[in-house]
Each structure stands twice: as structure tokens, then as C-alpha cells.
């Protein structure tokens, strides 16, 4: 299913809940399952910064906690001039739990760049017990 305006709007709505008192850099994410359910995420900062959680991870962990295991796309929205890419830990978790999903990065002015996760994360760490 292609990324549509609804998914972008959901990410924008999620961004409104961001807790970013230190950086003032609010991020929203909307992760869609293959059945069409949408899970929201926003960044939540902590004064140590090390305990800050990114919007992408909040959306993914919410979906996993709800029992979802199959995803097709995620939108990430920021207020930056250029759309911001997910950090390394977010890319790794998305790879492990979402595979090569579609990613739309956008800003509040509507500038958008689309990727496959494999383009942003071409050599992920992978380990299998099988």
C-alpha cells in the first residue's frame, strides 16, 4: 500500500505529543501495519539525553506491544528545513522488526523524501539462532 496523505497527517498529529523541552526538536511518526492499522510515536526527551526515545521507536514498540508483527511503511515528520533521517538505533530496530519497509521523511512545510529502509541502512547487523 503506498504512503498516502493520511499516514503523513497521522505522523503530524503524533508530533504534537512530543516531549522535547531540551532540544525543542519535535518528531512524529506513524507506522502502518500490513492490515492498515496505524501506530503513533513521538520523541520523549530526558534531561540525560541518553534515555531519550525517538518517535520511530515509540511507534514500533507500541505496535509490537499490541501484538503486531507485520509492517509496510512509516512516516517521520520534523520541523527541520530538510527531512531528517532516523538515527542508527531506529534503523536497526526497524530492520529487525519491519524488514525493508517504505519510509517517507517529511517536514512541516511538506517537503518529502521517500526511501526503502535498505537504502538508508544497507548493511544491518543480523544474527539468527536458527
Q: Which of 10, 56, 109, 130 is catalytic?
A: 56
Strands 71-78 and 27-33: antiparallel
The whole-angstrom separation of Cα 38 and Cα 11 is 10
56 is catalytic: yes
Q: Report CA-CA distances (Å) from 96 to 39, 92, 107, 121.
A: 17, 6, 26, 11
Cell numbers for 36: 492498515
Residues with catalytic function: 56
Amino acid at each position: 500500500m503506498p504512503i498516502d496523505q493520511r499516514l503523513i497527517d497521522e505522523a503530524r498529529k503524533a508530533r504534537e505529543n512530543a516531549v522535547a523541552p531540551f532540544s525543542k526538536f519535535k518528531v512524529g511518526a506513524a507506522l502502518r501495519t500490513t492490515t492498515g492499522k496505524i501506530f503513533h510515536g513521538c520523541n520523549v526527551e530526558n534531561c540525560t539525553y541518553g534515555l531519550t526515545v525517538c518517535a520511530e521507536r515509540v511507534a514500533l514498540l507500541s505496535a509490537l506491544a499490541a501484538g503486531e508483527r507485520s509492517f509496510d511503511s512509516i512516516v517521520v515528520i520534523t520541523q527541520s528545513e530538510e527531512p531528517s533521517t532516523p538515527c542508527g538505533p531506529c534503523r536497526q530496530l526497524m530492520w529487525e522488526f519491519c524488514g525493508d519497509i517504505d519510509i517517507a521523511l517529511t517536514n512541516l512545510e511538506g517537503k518529502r523524501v521517500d526511501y526503502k529502509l535498505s537504502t538508508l541502512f544497507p548493511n544491518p547487523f543480523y544474527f539468527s539462532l536458527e
